[in-house]
Structure 1
Amino acid sequence: MKAREFTAKGVKRARKFLDQVREDPGSGLTPPRDLLEGREYTRAFRGELTVERRRQPFASRREIGEYLAPRLKPLGPQIADRTSLWSWLGLFHFENTVRIVDGAMRLSPLDETFVIDPLDNQTLRGQHRHYLRAAWQLYEVHGNNAAFLLNQPPTARGGIADAVFRSHRTFNSVGVVPLILGLYTADGRLKRGFNDRPGGLRHLFRVLEQLERTYDVYGMSAHCIVRILPPEFQPWANGASAPATSPKAPRQEEQPKKPASARSIHQPDSGQPRSNRRAGGGPPPRPQEPHSEPARSVSKDPKLEQWEADARRKGHGAMRYKGFRATVSVNATTGALQGRVMGPAGWWIGRVEAQDAVEFTQAFRRHVNEYLASGRS
């Protein structure tokens, strides 16, 4: 069937449905048809998106990503911000996603795992926890660098998952997520003592907070971040800390039987950005950004030339335009400038790649202007 999206009234009714399930988890309640298709609660989604009922539940986040990625690709990255659609999808696939324990449905107390209410700041800030949306973004943004999480059930939490889903900034970081998984997982398993030992996960977040005073750590690649970490983290990076051990089962679901190995931060996917020099010094100076200059005038801007020189020296940089931000890495193999474009509230809207700062600036601004023109701002 063609996808629909909730109206404001539909979002309220959907949240009421979740409360009903929590009150009577053994009732076997499913979203009523009028909630999913009725004109009182939904409207037709204008994009070309077709969905179908599934007989089997989603076994993992990877399965969700493989299901959604080809369907959402024609709609562009801005679809990540379409909360009314994600809420409808969450209820449409409720039976394929909800956790069942001893015949009873066990829901998170957080509505945003299924329904995102744009009028409720709490659910809006937590939209990165939406089961379908989170799985799709992990699959699209991080790929096999997030294999450990992708191979878990969509409702799994605890340990590494809690660290990644703790905030939208962590979840959307091009470097921090693969850094966490590269340091503390091996062969699809958690390393022993990953949380509390020196150089462990808790230690990492304290150090990132300190490094953020000097570096744009949430915009850097994992390879750049690991080079500026204190010595306590080197054994973890080299895989020579404690031997890997089977992880405790996530608090909500068991681990899949044959998870794919999480890719080490020293073995990036081909084409992933990687600096070939030690990252150092503060973030590059922000270039002045004229509104709509032709490429010829931009190319003569000495500040832009200096920005590119600094970005190539450090292996990373950042650029802003109309409230949007591009975090930049330098591909050590091709020398290309690769960037992720983030919206004013921190959501991811796409990627940009170019051979020099002039092309990158033009592509970045064009990407932002197209996004704004689409009416999704």
Structure 2
Amino acid sequence: MLSTIKRLIQTTFNENSKWILVVKSKHRVFKETGKLCGLTMGFTFIFFQAAIIMQGYSPTPLVLSRACYKESQDPTEFPVNKCCQTYNYSKKDFFRCSTKLREMEHITSDFPGREFSPVNAMEANQRIGESLWTQENNTTIQILEDSSGSNLHNRIMWVMIGDSRVRQIFSALVSLLSGPRLKYKKPSTLGKWRSSHELTESLRIGKLHEDIEVCHIDYFVNLKFYWDPTLQRLPKLLKYWTPNESDRPSVLLIGSGLHWMRQSTHTYHTSGLQSAAESFRMHMEKLHSQLISIAGSMNTIIQLLDPIQETVIFPKYKGIYSNENIELYNDIITSTFTKSDVIIWDSNIPTANHYFHQCRITNQQSYDKLWDCGNPLHPGFIAVEKNLNMLLNGVCNKLLRIDELYC
């Protein structure tokens, strides 16, 4: 992976110079900053097309890194990113980002070895434009049918797999994109596409334990949520995506943990916390090789578990649903996927900490679920929407060339 030198940059340092390391993978450019000591004048950095693991750094963007978030001076405000500014994403921004993802993927497939540029993007888009998506006689039904058929390579897929916490992120994204041109289907609709307004409230309430697919009629974008609370289906999906590059999602978000805890309750009571987490550890290790083999070609993100409100957990789950156990599970995920192209997202943790702290003070409850302090396991959507914005910053800022002050 280190065989291709992208460019040489002459850089001058003194003893306390600040450094910036840029490493490029297929779809991502990451930066790490810090201090270099004892370097002489004229030191040369070599930039490689390589995974950041080869350099010994985590690929997590600063906006998704817990270390960048500090409590606000105003105790009522959520933690703010001290490393960089976060951009407030709109529906329009999301579709711009997805268009850039599509352009880059077509450039890498249509023009092997060529970099992203407006000229290459235009030529790739011209090829896309020859497809049925841009034919004026397409009907809405044809577009929706093609969104799940043989034209997968003409779309950008955002896939989220896991439990109810991942479904919350999916729900927030559906709400952001809501409108009459957004359609959905799921097993209970018998494969029929319906208007998304029927979906948003049930998603918000959090009672859907099934797969959901969402398609926008006017854009090359599909969203998919796979209900897979213990990630038992994920290995089969990864096995399919690995050789089938055109069917891979451009963005894959994964999250799991609470259902593992619940199903290990008996082991916890008989053998303790570490033994109860062993099955989760083994499953993460089994996923390791599959995930790292595909993470270099698509944005692959694992979200760590949020803390919970321990004081209001049902008595039969006391101990098993605990912040101590959540830290153990998060340590398992981190130790398994550190030093790989898999992005470990943990900036949701300070956001959830602040949310539940406010809940202990105010016990707020709102009909729109922005605040849902009666729920000890899930943060309200005032926190979830902040998490979604972090995710979009982490995936999209580099593509949209947002001002360099932003993450």
TM-score of the two chains, using structure 1 as the length reference: 0.28
TM-score of the aligned structures, taking structure 2 as reference length: 0.26
Higher relative contact order (CA 8 A, sep 6+): 2
Structure (1 or 2) with the greater strand fraction: 2
